Amino acid sequence: MAESDDPLMVALLLIDEKYVAKPQLAQYRGMVGQGLLRIANAIGRSRMGMEDAPDEWTLQCAKRPVGRAFVKNAMASVEAVYQALHEAMALGKICAEGAPPPDLTYLAIKGMASTLDSQSYLIEPGKYEDIKTESQEAVTGELGLELEDHRGALVVSDVKLGMPADGAGIRLGDRLVRVDDAPVAGLSVARAEELLRGSVGSNVSLTVERDGAGAPLTLAMARQAHRFQSVKFQFLRGAVGYVRVVLFHGQTAQDLVTAFERLQALNMKALILDLRDNVGGLLNAAIGVAESFIPRDALIVVVNGRGERRDEHRSQAAVPPFTAPIVVLINQRTASSAEIVAAALRDWQRAILVGTKSHGKGSVQSIYPLPGHYALRLTTAYYVTPLGKKIDNEGIEPDVVVENKDEQLAKALELLFKNAPSLQGK
């Protein structure tokens, strides 16, 4: 067995003990298979080959009669997985024939994590502190662009004037290929946007494909300080307040209270809560926002963890909730914490949901540091709405479907004026 400071063993134990579902044989096999593949690819086909047969994997040095077979059905425990990958790394160093091999340990860990789910992955050195800062504070390093998923391609849908992406020459319609050396193929919009953010002043290069360009373009820029306006608001006609929650971070609930105070001073009679394009954030922030609309002690969300673990989060609001009519706007980029709020308001019959089906990212991720300044992000639980609906991979269906984004706000106003007597004649 390895010592506790061995990153590979630490990662294996974390997956075995913390991941939302304890791995079984098929999962262990997948972890080994991906780990072996990453090791073989890192050494290079000219030095090391890998064969994937139905019952076993075989690694073989290309220029030396040295190899190792790994029986798939033997991979039934943490110890077996560790032993297989440890032996594969040792063989890789032999096959490298003196060429300095990359850090195979973290490549193996990256391969293992890739078999779990799209939200579980290895975090590179330097990213861990950035992620913690982004979660807790409103100031991060930003590039000033937004992405949309167009049939699997991550396409630039917005470039903010004066921000780094604008200055570097990023254009609407560019297809993002890489962030620094990391390919983005197969990543969700939310995951790709995490890669775009970082510490203020840090350098990053984006590789994009552009219609009419003969080859991909690589554009360098430095992240710029950007203070998130997590809550934006305005007063619409007919005493309707409009509040857009952009992201859920440590100040969002208080920002919402401030917006409410301003709008209620103008005699707000109804509310449109815009959660479109909100990719989520902190669970506590979502609970704090929901408390503005849901009575004290009412269930907001259930977090189902491993085995029988079940954590209920109820409103702890110190003041009475907002009771006027509400319409919530959602779309396919409404995710995670934003889905929690939308679902809670709908389950408690506090709001009508308008727009398109939400993203369906209803899982909890925890970040665990690894030796060597890496970290492992693991899915550790799933969100369930007050009425028992699972969000992850399911999403939230709107009550009123409006596909055209430009028509969704008008539909929300129409519904409020139709259903709220206090707005008649406004």
Q: How far apart are CA 185 and CA 152, in angstroms?
A: 8
Alpha-helical segments (H) within 114-231: 127-136, 164-168, 189-196
Pairing label, strands 352-355, 182-183? unpaired
Cα(323)–Cα(321) distance, integer angstroms? 6
Asked if 135 and 281 count as a contact pair (C-beta separation under 8 A), the reply is yes
Of 306, 367, 296, 406, whose CA–CA distance to 135 is shortest?
Answer: 367
C-alpha pair distances (Å), 412 with each of 333, 397, 422: 18, 16, 16
Q: Give me the torsion for CA of 359, 121, 79, 45, rounded to 10°.
A: 120
Alpha-carbon distance 394 to 196, whole Å? 27
Among 344, 334, 356, 355, residue whose Cα is nearest residue 280? 334
CA angle 360, 147, 188 (to 5 degrees): 40
Opening angle at CA 307, ends 71 and 188, nearest 5: 70
Q: What is the DSSP string of 360-384?
A: ---EEEEEEEETTTEEEEEEEEEEE
Active site residues: 336, 347, 361
**DSSP structure class, residue 318:** S
To which H or E segment does residue 205 belong?
strand 203-209
